[in-house]
Structure 1
């Protein structure tokens, strides 16, 4: 059987196996890596017959496995970081990773009371970091398995109980140099009663491959806002996994702005572990030409009295294809659950496509859950209304698209982030 399986592997799968065997790390988490890679060896790259990846055939889309990236020359790394617009200068603390490796000299690090940041690579040199792999163990997924097997660096971030971090903490990822693959893993823990905002940026040049994963936990009564800007090069591949667990009375808002990559998969797994918590998973997708972007969300209501909101909007042009898969699981004892899901797309060309797969699995009887999905073209009546008032057709179309996307962007609630993302939207629209 093993011989038959090996014969059926793709060139990328064989290359990944060779890379792992050649550079098998003997660090404190070697057993964790081994288990993860065994999962990949058993399943291979996901394809259309894997239900969770039905609309994103990674086996076909990932034609080769690039070598693992190394840190470029100092001047090249500096130039690449300076070229990234990101969220501007709003961050009080910025943790920069170039080609998946921590770059302290390019980071913006300062002493902030209640905030502790450590490099994953530095922590691995001393032993197994606390919490690494704990949340990821609850998810069976090939992209996450590969991240666990190959992870080299990342940030271990702890926000102390009761701390209020006034300025955002930014995690910036930049790719530079020859095409290569990066694997970053971040573990973020927010203490009880703490308040913090995170921004996350991905950018680069060339046909590189990004595989990133975040394990995030929030203790009782934490307040967290997380904004992600995925603006990878249009030749790049972006795979990201966000695994989160919320304790009681947490307010958590997560927003994803997807505009980059040739092939992108953004997946989030969220579990309510304490009562009276609220979570918003929202985002905007702006793609064109031959881009493919997949957003997959799984929310587990494992306890009563929690509220979740999933709200995504997309603008799709050219021959691009978008995917939204949302799943809300309500456990048997999770009474008084309120889970709502909505996804809407504007198809800006005849070749644009959008696939939806919203799901509810409910085992409790006292709940409020619903899902909806719409797709269509620009409303011709609204377009006529604007043109009748002297606005040229191209500008009128742009204004309608911007208004459509701004509706979800403005739900972030952070004015500075909203301004940045709306400006990004205008740039994408050529406005």
Structure 2
């Protein structure tokens, strides 16, 4: 007879339970959505926050990091959000459309709704959708992400977000930036759904700015890429922050679809950027890139699961990490190939550059293959700056600090440039230089 040992809640988990009781009546959603929220909180109550005994969180113990949990952030005045936008630095020099959320709520008055409508893009309020008869559909996911603890935390507390729909055949002429602002301290839980119609094309930029104090930021993106459609998603998680930054993407790809993503991490103390990619149609391709920089006591976690459930699909994963001080980097990547997913071509590589003796990198690439006619490979490297290359640059009159900066920039730029979205390359490389200037 097996006995279930009850978990003793930490202070953060106790705070989360109290937060839910205080906020549940005000959170948006139908009766069905409320039931899903209760079930998700039950998962946190029974199992606790994800911790090192959960294999997927072995190197990123959220339970140990979160000593307490702040209440949800309050709503914001439009003027406060506008002031925050005036200091936005994410993609400031790039001509793009903007969709604005502040403290978890969608602000259509500050978003380019009419201009996007002219491009064939509609933007809807997630909070309104959750309150409707079909609201529960927005909180359901494929098997690869459904039971994740961070996703459950988001489901319990989701305040709002947007549903962005690109009509069939539309090719949006400029990138669309989805901006999450924090104008008050407190936690944020946001759910965004992005639907790219058949033959459509979109470049989505995802950024966050502001200070939440010790309130965690938990954002889930649900991407649906239809047949023959293309989606590129560039995510920037940057700036000093003591809060836990938790980002999840769940992508579902149709036939002949193309999906690219780049997760860029630089600054926060605790970041987990996790992605789940599901192939549901043949002859599709996914290219997933990651660039991480961490110093001091920071942790940067890039986690990825690619599920090849159908034949004739390709996936490429390429991740670069630079660590300084006592920082920790994590890469967990797994390619699943189902028994009938013949002619799969999957390849992943993770490379880390350690700038100090105390920095640590955990690389965990995995292949789980049940088909026999496939091409799959993985690789991982960790090391320090090449002394021969450093000597070569210094011998030509370049100061040591500048020489190191050039080598680190070249190391990280390989992933940024292979990503291939030229409109963001310069801005991302500038952020690399800014981070290196402080380290």
Assess if the C-alpha contact under 8 Å between 2:335 and 2:368 holds in 1: yes
Q: Partner of 1:132: helix, strand, or coil?
A: helix
User: How do 1:161-176 residues align onto structure 2 when only pairs under 5 Å count?
Assistant: 161-176=168-183
1:42 corresponds in structure 2 to 46
Distance 2:163 2:239 in 1: 23
2:97 corresponds in structure 1 to 93
Q: Deviations over 1:34-77 (max 9, x none)?
A: 22222222221111111010001111101111100012344433
Check 1:38–1:207 CA distance in 2 against 1; reply closer, same or farther (3 A cut): closer
User: How do 1:117-196 residues align onto structure 2 when only pairs under 5 Å count?
Assistant: 117-129=123-135, 131-135=137-141, 138-139=144-145, 140-178=147-185, 180-196=186-202
1:318 corresponds in structure 2 to 325
C-alpha displacement of 1:136: 5.5
Q: Deviations over 1:249-291 (max 9, x none)?
A: 1111111111131111111011110111000110100111111
2:270 corresponds in structure 1 to 263
Please tell me the root mean square deviation across aligned C-alpha atoms, in Å.
1.9
Q: Partner of 1:118: helix, strand, or coil?
A: strand
Task: Give the one of 62, 65, 72 matched to 2:66.
Answer: 62
Distance 1:55 1:192 in 2: 39
2:346 corresponds in structure 1 to 339
C-alpha displacement of 1:426: 1.2
More displaced 10-residue stretch of structure 1: 250-259 or 226-235: 226-235
C-alpha displacement of 1:207: 3.6
Q: Partner of 2:6: helix, strand, or coil?
A: helix
Assess if the C-alpha contact under 8 Å between 2:70 and 2:214 holds in 1: no
C-alpha displacement of 1:97: 1.1
Distance 1:90 1:273 in 2: 34
Assess if the C-alpha contact under 8 Å between 2:253 and 2:284 holds in 1: yes
Unaligned runs of 5+ in 2: none
C-alpha displacement of 1:98: 1.3
Distance 1:30 1:235 in 2: 30
Unaligned runs of 5+ in 1: none
Distance 2:62 2:3 in 1: 22
Assess if the C-alpha contact under 8 Å between 1:279 and 1:307 holds in 2: yes
Query: Are residues 1:10 and 2:14 paired?
Result: no
C-alpha displacement of 1:91: 5.0
Q: Partner of 2:74: helix, strand, or coil?
A: coil
Distance 2:425 2:109 in 1: 29
Query: Are residues 1:234 and 2:236 paired?
Result: no
Assess if the C-alpha contact under 8 Å between 1:204 and 1:233 holds in 2: no
Task: Give the one of 102, 108, 124 matched to 2:106.
Answer: 102
Task: Give the one of 226, 231, 254 matched to 1:224.
Answer: 231
Assess if the C-alpha contact under 8 Å between 1:191 and 1:218 holds in 2: yes
C-alpha displacement of 1:203: 2.0
Superposition TM-score, scaled by structure 2 size: 0.93
